[in-house]
Structure 1
Amino acid sequence: MREVLNTPLFGIALSIVAFKIGIWANKKLKNPLANPLIIAMALIVILLLVFDIPLDSYEKGSSIISLFLAPVTAVLALSIYRQRALLKDSLLPVMMGTFAGALASLFSIKWTCGLLGLDSVVLSSLMSKSVTTPIAIALTEQFGGIPALTVASTVISGALGNLLAPVLAKMFFISDPVAHGVGIGSCSHALGTSKALEIGEVEGAMSSIAISLSGIFTVLLAPLFFL
């Protein structure tokens, strides 16, 4: 049994099976809260804990899946290209909306850490939670944060965006697809964008461009919060 756990196939197979179960549950329950991604993560965590499987055994396979994160993010450029005419007409609102989103994210983390009395290491680890993982980790390492904490906060932000994007749009009466897409991409990066692509092609394209712009604005603005 241990020999099976020590192969990369274990982590890959477990991830695929857990996600398939999540998709099945989502179709059966027909509830937006039954998110396949959330269900898959919960199943994997429970399985590892119940059977006392070392995290290193799972990561041998999951790390291979993680290699596809950057290429998949780059493929989002296709949806942007298809909506290039709309993007050209809405370029200024998209840029200003993404800038406001990045600024709001940084301010909220700075304020919350100060309110809770958290130290600068935690602040450095959480500042980039709303941008895509490669950029978030690079910023954390630059400011002396904890990469593991950054990854955890980034995953939580993305998962919440994926889960709550449709609900929040209804709650705040957001009907414009451009605004909806920019909001999703600005706060929940690729995980949220996967939901935006399900909602509509325009939302997916705007969320995709917001990922890139949010990363750029966060890189430029984050150092100002450590002065």
Structure 2
Amino acid sequence: MSGTLSDAWQAIVAHPLFWVGATLAAYQFGLALYQRTRLAVFHPVLVSTPVLVLAIWLAGEDYPHYRDAVQPLLVLLGPATVALAVPLYMNLRRIRSYLVPVLTCLLVGGTVATVLTILLAWALGAENMIMMTLAPKSVTSPIAMLVAEQIGGVAALAAVFVMFTGVLGAIFGPMLLRVCGVDHPAAWGMAMGLTAHAVGTSRALEQGEEAGAFAALAMSLMGTATALLLPLAVSIWMMW
């Protein structure tokens, strides 16, 4: 009897859609918990990640198998990212009116976020590889992984740092903005998108369409600037 149950369980786990369903269920559980409590510590990404890690471990599977099984969800990341253009388009007039502050925020905020990260890692005795892996932490995973490899970091570790940055930004960002008296939707969105990428953008969308639009803009501009300028800046630094 136990052998039959074991075979049945293995057949269920081996089904191509099992881990897709498990991922959606874990996220839905985190979302329901977050909506009920409204506590940032129960952000769906923060809740669903350990739930899935535990499920994968209990099932005796490894990450490569899980990654291959959820490939359909990974394919949807592209359209989901492109969909962020909708609030951008809806608030295009507002964005144009704040063009100079937006570019200033990108230049100052993006530079400070990157340089301060490297300086803190250096002060704590981190190796060059770790510093280069940490440098692109405030952009989305695909860009961060590519940039990290280009400047001497580790792509897989960069993805981990990106995840922690996004989750911590979603947890502590709103609190810090309230403490600093920042309540303007545009400024709120720029801060969240610039530092906490997609997770921060999703958090900003909860504040309203305008905050979400500026967060999506900041995330896009930060990703583009990091991909273009960070490798160049590191190359110049290395020559010195």
Whether TM exceeds 0.5 here: the answer is: yes
Tell me the equivalent position of 2:53: 45
In 2, Cα distance between the equivalents of 1:39 and 1:132?
Answer: 19
Tell me the equivalent position of 2:125: 117
Matched residue SS, 1:39: helix
Cα pair 1:80 1:208 within 8 Å, conserved? yes
60, 81, 105: which one pairs with 2:89?
81
Amino acid at match of 1:55: Y
Tell me the equivalent position of 1:169: 177
Structure with the bigger RCO (C-alpha within 8 Å, sep 6+) is: 1
Choose 155-164 or 59-68, whichever is displaced more.
59-68
In 2, Cα distance between the equivalents of 1:5 and 1:214?
Answer: 39
Q: Deviations over 1:110-151 (max 9, x none)?
A: 102211222222222221110112211221121232111011
Cα pair 1:182 1:210 within 8 Å, conserved? yes
Flag the 1:186–1:160 CA change in 2: closer, same or farther, 3 A: same
Computing the radius of gyration from Cα coordinates, the structure with the larger value is: 2
Cα drift, residue 51 of structure 1: 4.3
Q: Does 1:137 align with 2:161?
A: no
Query: What fraction of aligned residue pairs are identical, expressed as a percent?
Result: 28
In 1, Cα distance between the equivalents of 2:117 and 2:148?
Answer: 14
Flag the 1:9–1:24 CA change in 2: closer, same or farther, 3 A: same
Return 5+ residue gaps in structure 2 as ranges.
1-8
Matched residue SS, 1:18: helix
Cα drift, residue 50 of structure 1: 4.0
Flag the 1:220–1:49 CA change in 2: closer, same or farther, 3 A: same
Choose 141-150 or 77-86, whichever is displaced more.
141-150
Tell me the equivalent position of 1:29: 37
Cα pair 1:11 1:59 within 8 Å, conserved? no
Matched residue SS, 1:33: helix
In 2, Cα distance between the equivalents of 1:104 and 1:184?
Answer: 15
Map 1:56-205 → 2, pairs under 5 A: 56-205=64-213
| TM-score normalised by the chain length of structure 1 | 0.92
In 1, Cα distance between the equivalents of 2:193 and 2:220?
Answer: 9
Tell me the equivalent position of 2:4: none
| TM-score normalised by the chain length of structure 2 | 0.87
In 2, Cα distance between the equivalents of 1:81 and 1:183?
Answer: 20
Amino acid at match of 1:34: F
Return 5+ residue gaps in structure 1 as ranges.
none
Flag the 1:213–1:28 CA change in 2: closer, same or farther, 3 A: closer
In 1, Cα distance between the equivalents of 2:37 and 2:224?
Answer: 39
Cα pair 1:98 1:183 within 8 Å, conserved? no
In 1, Cα distance between the equivalents of 2:172 and 2:186?
Answer: 17
